Amino acid sequence: MSGATERSEELIGPPGCERALRVRATAPAGERAVRAEQTLLAALEVAGINAAPCVLEVEADGYVRETAPPLRRRQGRRVAAATDPATAEREASRQIRAELEELLKALHERGWVLGAAPGGGIGVRAEGSVLVTDLRGLRESSSVRAQLEDRRWIDSVLGDQDRTLRRRIHDRGPDPDVLVAPIPEAPHLQQSDADHGEESQLRPLPQPRTASRSARRTGSGATAAVRRVLADPVYRRTAVLSALVVLALAVAGGGTWWVLRDPAVSIAAPPAPASRGASTPDAEPVPAINDPWALAAELAGARHAYVTGLADVSPALPGSVAASDDEAVRTAYEGATVRGGGPVIHQAELIQAPDAQGRAVIAAVTSTEEHTVITAADHETIVPATQPASVRIELIWDHDQWRIVEVSPASS
Q: Which of 178, 213, 248 is the last residue of a domain?
A: 213
Q: What is the mean pLDDT of residues 189-209?
A: 38
User: 189 pLDDT exceeds 70?
Assistant: no
Tell whether 277 and 383 lie within a shared domain: yes
User: 270 pLDDT exceeds 70?
Assistant: no
The pLDDT, as a whole number, for residue 33 is 87
Who has greater pLDDT, 212 or 337? 337
User: 216 pLDDT exceeds 70?
Assistant: no
Who has greater pLDDT, 50 or 198? 50
Tell whether 166 and 257 lie within a shared domain: no
User: Which of 166-170, 210-214, 236-240, 395-399 has the highest average model confidence (pLDDT)?
Assistant: 395-399
Could you report how far apart the first and last alpha carbons of the chain are, in Å? 42
Q: What is the mean pLDDT of residues 160-169?
A: 43
The pLDDT, as a whole number, for residue 248 is 36
User: 144 pLDDT exceeds 60?
Assistant: yes
Asked if the structure places residue 202 within a domain, the reply is: yes
The pLDDT, as a whole number, for residue 89 is 64
User: 98 pLDDT exceeds 50?
Assistant: yes
Tell whether 182 and 196 lie within a shared domain: yes
User: 208 pLDDT exceeds 70?
Assistant: no
Q: What percent of the chain has pLDDT over 90?
A: 23
Give me the phi and psi of 403, to 5 degrees please: -125, 155
- Label residue 221 by pLDDT band (50, 70, 90): very low
User: 268 pLDDT exceeds 60?
Assistant: no
User: 158 pLDDT exceeds 50?
Assistant: yes
State CA 348 to chain mean position distance: 18
User: 109 pLDDT exceeds 60?
Assistant: yes
Q: What is the mean pLDDT of residues 288-306?
A: 87
The pLDDT, as a whole number, for residue 354 is 94
User: 12 pLDDT exceeds 50?
Assistant: yes
Asked if the structure places residue 74 within a domain, the reply is: no
Tell whether 304 and 377 lie within a shared domain: yes
Look up the domain containing 123 and give its range: 88-213
Tell whether 36 and 95 lie within a shared domain: no
Asked if the structure places residue 76 within a domain, the reply is: no
What global pTM score does this model have?
A: 0.45
User: 229 pLDDT exceeds 80?
Assistant: no
Integer Cα distance of 135 and 113 in angstroms: 10
Tell whether 165 and 103 lie within a shared domain: yes
- Label residue 72 by pLDDT band (50, 70, 90): low
Asked if the structure places residue 75 within a domain, the reply is: no
When divided into structural domains, the chain yields a total of 3
Q: Which helix (H) or strand (E) holds 363?
A: strand 359-374
User: 121 pLDDT exceeds 60?
Assistant: yes
Going by C-alpha positions, the residue among 125, 118, 124 that lies closest to residue 159 is: 118
Q: What is the mean pLDDT of residues 212-229?
A: 34
Integer Cα distance of 34 and 36 in angstroms: 5
Tell whether 400 and 378 lie within a shared domain: yes
- Label residue 87 by pLDDT band (50, 70, 90): low
Asked if the structure places residue 307 within a domain, the reply is: yes
Integer Cα distance of 8 and 62 in angstroms: 9
Asked if the structure places residue 81 within a domain, the reply is: no
CA triplet 65, 11, 299: central angle to 5 degrees? 25
Integer Cα distance of 249 and 253 in angstroms: 10
Asked if the structure places residue 23 within a domain, the reply is: yes
Q: How far is CA 69 from CA 28, 136, 159, 273, 332, in A?
A: 31, 17, 18, 48, 36
Tell whether 172 and 232 lie within a shared domain: no
The pLDDT, as a whole number, for residue 61 is 86
- Label residue 402 by pLDDT band (50, 70, 90): very high
The answer to whether the beta carbons of residues 366 and 244 sit under 8 Å apart is no
345 three-class SS:
strand
Q: Is the dihedral of CA 294, 295, 296, 299 positive or negative?
A: positive
Integer Cα distance of 29 and 37 in angstroms: 14
